[in-house]
């Protein structure tokens, strides 16, 4: 079964750091572009970051650039998001999502995880 | 940056048709995808590349895209279609994925 499972969420103080993980199974992980998408409580979907299958292409939403770092380990079928200098407005459910292609492109997000909650509060 | 605008809400009676629009500058030149998100659940892809359906998605879901508006059409609406719906495109100019503002579909 094709699936992705996020982990690593939790409560963190403003200015703190957190590392999210996404474990993939059931597909050839290195052949796919992987993404993080977040959703603040009661709000819409917001794309966070994208990394191509070989890590050659890495993109970030403007508000995350410089604070968040996406990476992947194809040997472990895993995607990561290192989040630093966290702010209250980063509070959200963070989803791992696969794009049906190897590089960031006009293909759709066809596989989603259940998400992991990140709460930034003192 | 590229902006996608959706109506906040759409209400429809069971058995009728719901149209959900997604407005963007020259969106007709882009490939549009649509996601359904039920309360407390992860999004699910329901239409991709303007009008194709993933396996398992009912034929009642269809899409179109022209000029400055893309549209998701839900025919013969059922109670189980009640959800938030989001459009999405790839903004190649800025190397960003963009989601629409979302539309809450209420089945009366």
* Cα B77 off chain centre by: 14
Indicate if the pLDDT at residue A53 is higher than 90: yes
B27: CB partners within 8 A, 6+ apart: B4, B65, B67, B68, B69, B70, B89
The pLDDT value recorded for residue B56 is 96
The span from the CA of A117 to the CA of B67, in Å, is 38
Q: Which of B30, B37, B97 sits opposite A35 (nearest CB)?
A: B97
Asked whether B43 and B35 are in contact (CB, 8 A), the reply is yes
Q: Are A45 and B1 a contacting pair at CB < 8 A? A: no
- The residue of chain B with its CA nearest to that of A62 is B96
Averaged pLDDT, A44-70: 95
Identify the closest residue of chain B to A5 by CA–CA distance. Answer: B42
> What pLDDT score was predicted for residue A21?
98
Please tell me the predicted confidence (pLDDT) of residue A86.
97
Output b/e per residue, B56-87; b: 16+ Cβ within 10 A: ebeebbbbebeeeebbbebeebeeebbbbbbb
pLDDT digits (tens, 9 = 90+) for B16-65: 999 999 999 999 999 999 999 999 999 999 999 999 999 999 999 999 99
Mean pLDDT, residues B60-72 taken together: 97
Tell me whether A88 touches chain B (CB under 8 Å): no
| Distance (Å) of CA B8 to CA B3, B70, B85 | 15, 15, 10
Q: What is the per-residue pLDDT for A103?
A: 84
What is the average pLDDT score of chain A? Answer: 96
Q: What is the 3-state secondary structure (H, E, C) of chain B?
A: CCCCECCCEEEECCCCCEEEEEECCCHHHCCCEEEEECCCCCCEEEEECCCECCCCCCCCEEEEEECCEEEEEECCCCHHHCEEEEEEEEECCCCEEEECCCEEEEEC
Interface check for A35 against chain B (CB to CB < 8 A): the answer is: yes
pLDDT of residue B64: 97
Nearest by CB to residue B96, choosing from A59, A112, A115, is A59
The predicted-structure confidence for A58-108, as pLDDT tens digits, reads as follows 999 999 989 999 999 999 999 999 999 999 999 999 999 999 888 888 899
Contact between A35 and B48 using a beta-carbon 8 Å cutoff: no
Q: Structure tokens of A44? A: 């819409």
Q: CB contact, 8 Å: A46 with chain B?
A: yes
Q: Tell me if chain B has a CB within 8 Å of the CB of A115.
A: yes
Å between B93 CA and nearest CA of chain A = 11
| pLDDT of res. A117 | 98
- Enumerate residues 4 to 33 of chain A having a beta carbon within 8 A of any beta carbon in chain B: none
Our CA-based measurement puts residue A93 at a distance from the nearest CA of chain B, in whole angstroms, of 10
Nearest chain A Cα distance for residue B42, angstroms: 5
* Pair B27, B89: CB distance under 8 Å: yes
Burial class (CB within 10 angstroms; exposed 0-12, middle 13-18, buried 19+) of B3: exposed
SS3 A38: strand
Pairwise CB contact (< 8 Å): A109 & B96: no
Which of B73, B105, B86 has its CA nearest to residue B32? B86
| Closest residue in A to B93 (Cα–Cα) | A105
User: How far is the CA of B11 from the CAs of B8, B58, B82, B100, in angstroms?
Assistant: 10, 20, 9, 18
């Amino acid at each position: 079964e094709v699936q992705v499972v996020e982990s690593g969420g939790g409560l963190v103080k403003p200015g703190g750091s957190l590392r999210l993980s996404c474990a993939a199974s059931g597909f050839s992980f290195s052949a796919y572009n992987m993404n993080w998408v977040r959703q603040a409580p009661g709000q819409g979907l917001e794309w966070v970051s994208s990394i191509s299958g070989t890590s050659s292409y890495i993109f970030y939403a403007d508000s995350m650039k410089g604070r968040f770092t996406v990476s992947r380990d194809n040997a472990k079928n895993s995607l990561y998001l290192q989040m630093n200098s966290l702010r209250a407005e980063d509070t959200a459910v963070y989803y791992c999502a696969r794009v049906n292609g190897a590089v960031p492109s006009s293909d759709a997000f066809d596989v989603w995880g259940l998400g992991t909650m990140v709460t930034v509060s003192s | 940056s590229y902006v996608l605008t959706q109506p906040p809400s759409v209400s429809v009676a069971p058995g009728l048709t719901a149209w959900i629009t997604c407005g963007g500058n020259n969106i007709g030149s882009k490939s549009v995808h649509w996601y359904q998100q039920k309360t407390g659940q992860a999004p699910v892809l329901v239409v991709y590349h303007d009008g194709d359906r993933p396996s398992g998605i009912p034929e009642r879901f269809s899409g179109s895209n022209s000029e400055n508006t893309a549209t998701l059409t839900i025919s013969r609406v059922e109670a189980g279609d009640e959800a938030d719906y989001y459009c999405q495109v790839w903004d190649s100019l800025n190397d960003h994925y963009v989601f629409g503002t979302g539309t809450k579909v209420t089945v009366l």
